[in-house]
Amino acid sequence: MRFQKNISLAKHTSFKIGGSARYFCIAKSKKDLIEAIKWAKQKKIPFFVFGEGSNVLALDKGYDGLIIKFQNLKLEDLVKLSAKKSLTGLEWAAGIPGTIGGAVYGNAQAFDVKMSDIVKSVEVLNVKTLKIKNLLKNQCQFSAKKSIFKKNKNLIILLLNLELKKGNKKEIERKIKENLKHREKNHPLEFPSAGSVFVNQPGKPPSASLIEKAGLKGTKVGHAQVSKKHASFIINTGKAKSKDVLDLIKVIKKKVKSKFGITLKEEIQIIK
Ligand SMILES: Cc1cc2nc3c(=O)[nH]c(=O)nc-3n(C[C@H](O)[C@H](O)[C@H](O)COP(=O)(O)OP(=O)(O)OC[C@H]3O[C@@H](n4cnc5c(N)ncnc54)[C@H](O)[C@@H]3O)c2cc1C
């Protein structure tokens, strides 16, 4: 495997923001992943594993360690495969960028359906022991945009066992098209972003609606802007720095808190 030096994280994240990783590698298999972790341990440097980089913010100062881009199955390819095999249950995920690992980590959700609705078990690698084990769904501690993997960073998601049902191929394909259209219409796909920056908290109004009602749509800090199309998205209008995004998050949280008494919680993960 190739360990590269000083690789720009802006090039590997959907936000197109971030300084350089001191070391960077692409792991294409379980074997690569283990090799990369061993390499970092030997060098006594920290490491960070991510997937497609579609829900992360890399900092301007970069990362002083090894960034492991784990290229396991993309959600998009899984959706296509399930449609091909006439399996229903994943149509909601059409258009969500990222890998299956990222989707389970953050319990990805759309149209009121979430990963935890279809996951039966998850194969994980423990980075401390380098042992592989299987976690059943009830051991994954799933809740809204949360899983055990957010708490226990030692667990890397390798494989999923999903529960999908036999369906009608035409109907599955129709639903996928409809969902993709909805995304095109409602999400600012023309700008780099990391998706929704804030979690929708159970029992509270959606974060986008709170931000919109606080009059924040279009608000800018540097080159980071609250999307005019979907207020929970922060977009990179050109040369945004991570500092612009973090300062804009502060502005949003402060205004929403003072107007509605609700503390917004970030969904995006910071590479640190
Ligand atoms: C335009 C756009 C639209 C989006 N729409 C949605 C949406 O509708 N619903 C939704 O839920 N999300 C959405 N997102 C966010 C994002 O696509 C999802 O969170 C996706 O599941 C992230 O996958 P990833 O591989 O890119 O994860 P990354 O961004 O690479 O990583 C995110 C986190 O997961 C961890 N991680 C990644 N892979 C693994 C692994 N194998 N094992 C353990 N931890 C891992 C990383 O360490 C990091 O902390 C959107 C993003 C964009 C840019």
Nearest-CA residue for ligand 1 atom 11 is 108
pLDDT score recorded for residue 163: 97
Q: What percent of the chain has pLDDT over 70?
A: 100
**Mutational pocket test of ligand 1: of 13, 74, 104, 105, the residue with most ligand atoms within 8 Å of the beta carbon:** 105
| Residue 91: closest CA among 183, 208, 176, 196 | 176
Rounded CA-CA distance 203/206 in Å is 9
Around ligand 1, the residues with Cβ closer than 6 Å are 14, 49-56, 70, 96-99, 101-103, 105-106, 108-110, 149, 156-157, 187, 189, 193-195, 269
Indicate yes or no: pTM above 0.95: yes
Tens digit of each residue's pLDDT (9 = 90 or more) over 179-206: 999 999 999 999 999 999 999 999 999 9
Cβ neighbours for 203, distance < 8 A, ≥ 6 positions apart: none
Rounded CA-CA distance 18/61 in Å is 7
The three-class DSSP label of residue 235 is: strand
Tens digit of each residue's pLDDT (9 = 90 or more) over 213-247: 999 999 999 999 999 999 999 999 999 999 999 99
Phi-psi region of 178 (alpha: psi -120 to 50; beta: other; left: phi over 0): alpha
Residue-range domains of the chain with CATH: 4-70 (3.30.43.10), 75-169 (3.30.465.10), 188-271 (3.90.78.10)
Backbone Cα Rg of the chain: 19
CA 246 to chain centre: 17
Tens digit of each residue's pLDDT (9 = 90 or more) over 63-115: 999 999 999 999 999 999 999 999 999 999 999 999 999 999 999 999 999 99
Rounded CA-CA distance 242/135 in Å is 35
